Amino acid sequence: MKKNRLFENIIHGIFLILGLITIGCVLLITVYLVISGIPAIREIGIIDFLFGKKWASTAEEPAFGILPFILTSVYGTAGAIVIGVPIGFMTAVYLSKAAHPKVRTVIEAAVNLLAGIPSVVYGLVGMLVLVPGIRKLFNIPDGASLFAAIIVLAIMILPSIIKVSITALDAVPKEYEDASLALGATPTETFFRVSVPTAKSGIAAAVVLGVGRAIGEAMAVMMVSGNVPNMPSLFQSVRFLTTAVASEMAYSSGLQQQALFSIALVLFLFIMLINAALNFFLKGNKEG
């Protein structure tokens, strides 16, 4: 009997360890980013680092200001949200409320496919279709720009926005919609004046998720944004927080490499903030 008990305890212990692995991973990532990210910030000075407008990591007198990256990431994400959210939201309302079930199945499969396409494939198509297209359309010397990145990001966040919004809209009780129809509202009025307000925290969560996706994307953006550390401007080559890390890591060393870790730390803080917001909206959804 005693032996049996011991055996059960061991098994319990093993599962406990497995359960704790996720927490361990989060701690590992946090600790590594903080430890490796702090030194450069100390050396450069937090103000100069965060608000410095010039990044010249390999110059004779190197400058490590990441304001261009921060602003590019913020503008790029905002741009993607401005374009992607209305399209995704409207598609979600249509699929959840108005579409014929067969249409819904087909388009949902398409949206899932969009979510599954590797980011380098987006980058490749962006490089060869979008970038030359922008160059010709706006008559600028190089189409690899913030604008190109915004378009690619807007497309890449569509699946998250659509899928999470659909889940929220599907959960709206039919009674609410019936009541609205019985008051003489048309179906379309009902979707937008009753169903959407009811699902608003879920839809907010979808938007926040989209923000997270957009700000964290590296490869596709790297392939279409030109990758020059300019202050952001719509039709100029720019560098994001993610691409700043990715583009120099392979050949960096010393303070330059440490500064890259610091950039990753800044990006991580952004993501943690977004996670907290996401949690807030999802919790609000459960209670409301």
Partner 1 sequence: MLKGKLSGKRKAYITAMRTAMLVSTVLTAALVLFLVIYVLIKGIPNISWELISTKPSYLSDKIGILPDIMNTVYIVLATLVIVLPLGAGAAVYLTEYAKNKKLVGMIEYAAETLSGIPSIIYGLVGMLFFCQFLNMETSLLAGALTLVIMNLPTVMRTTQESLKTVPQSYRDGAFGLGAGKWRVIRTVVLPGCVDGIITGCILSVGRILGESAALLFTAGFAHALNGIIDGLTSPGATLTVALYVYAKEQGEFGVAFAIAAILMILTLLINLSATLVGRYFAKRRNV
Partner 2 sequence: MSDIMTAKELCLWYGSSQALKNVSISIPEKSITALIGPSGCGKSTFLKTLNRMNDLIPEVKITGEVSYKGVNIFDSSVDVCELRREVGMVFQKPNPFPMSIYDNIAYGPRTHGVKSKAKLDEIVERALRDAAIWDEVKDRLKKNALGLSGGQQQRLCIARALAAEPQVLLMDEPTSALDPISTSRIEELALQLKEKYTIIIVTHNMQQAVRISDNTAFFLLGELVEFGETEKLFSQPKEKRTEDYITGRFG
- Name residues contacting partner 1, limited to 67-126 (CB under 8 A): 86-91, 93-95, 98-99, 106-107, 109-114, 116-121, 123-125
By beta-carbon proximity to partner 1, the closer residue of 46 and 109 is 109
By beta-carbon proximity to partner 2, the closer residue of 29 and 183 is 183
Among 50, 124, 185, 249, binds partner 2 (CB under 8 A): 185
E strands present in 25-67: 55-56, 63-64
Q: Write out the binding residues for partner 2, residues 122-141 only, by CB under 8 A.
A: none
By beta-carbon proximity to partner 1, the closer residue of 14 and 179 is 14
- Taking residue 15's Cβ as centre, other Cβ atoms within 10 Å add up to 10
By beta-carbon proximity to partner 1, the closer residue of 125 and 140 is 125
Q: Own/partner pairs for 57-60, CB < 8 Å, 24+ apart? A: 57/248, 57/252, 57/256, 57/259, 58/256
Residue 267 binding partner 1, by CB under 8 A: yes
Query: Residue 63 is inside which H or E element, if any?
Result: strand 63-64
Residue 19 binding partner 1, by CB under 8 A: yes
- Name the CA radius of gyration of the chain, rounded: 23
By beta-carbon proximity to partner 1, the closer residue of 53 and 171 is 171
Look at residues 286, 91, 124 and name the one whose alpha carbon lies nearest to residue 205. 286
By beta-carbon proximity to partner 1, the closer residue of 61 and 100 is 100
Least distance to partner 2 from the beta carbon of 197, Å? 7
Look at residues 252, 266, 264 and name the one whose alpha carbon lies nearest to residue 62. 252
Residue 186 binding partner 2, by CB under 8 A: yes
Q: Write out the binding residues for partner 1, residues 185-224 only, by CB under 8 A.
A: 186, 188-189, 191-192, 212, 215-219, 222-223
Residue 234 binding partner 1, by CB under 8 A: no
120 binds, among partner 1, partner 2, none (CB under 5 to 8 A by kind): partner 1
| CB of 199 closer than 8 Å to CB of 157 | no
Least distance to partner 1 from the beta carbon of 236, Å? 19
Find the angle CA(261)-CA(121)-CA(202) to the nearest 5 degrees: 75
Number of residues that bind partner 1 (CB under 8 A): 84
> Could you tell me how many residues make up the chain?
288
Largest CA distance in the chain: 82
Residue 21 binding partner 1, by CB under 8 A: yes
- Taking residue 170's Cβ as centre, other Cβ atoms within 10 Å add up to 14
Q: Write out the binding residues for partner 2, residues 163-182 only, by CB under 8 A.
A: 173, 175-176, 178-182
Query: Residue 55 is inside which H or E element, if any?
Result: strand 55-56
The amino acid present at 27, given as its one-letter code, is L
Look at residues 96, 87, 98, 88 and name the one whose alpha carbon lies nearest to residue 188. 98
CA distance 276 to 206: 14
Residue 242 binding partner 1, by CB under 8 A: yes
Residues paired with 226 in a beta bridge: 238
Number of residues that bind partner 2 (CB under 8 A): 18
Residue 103 binding partner 2, by CB under 8 A: no
Q: Which residues bind partner 2 (CB under 8 A)?
A: 173, 175-176, 178-186, 189, 193-194, 197-198, 288
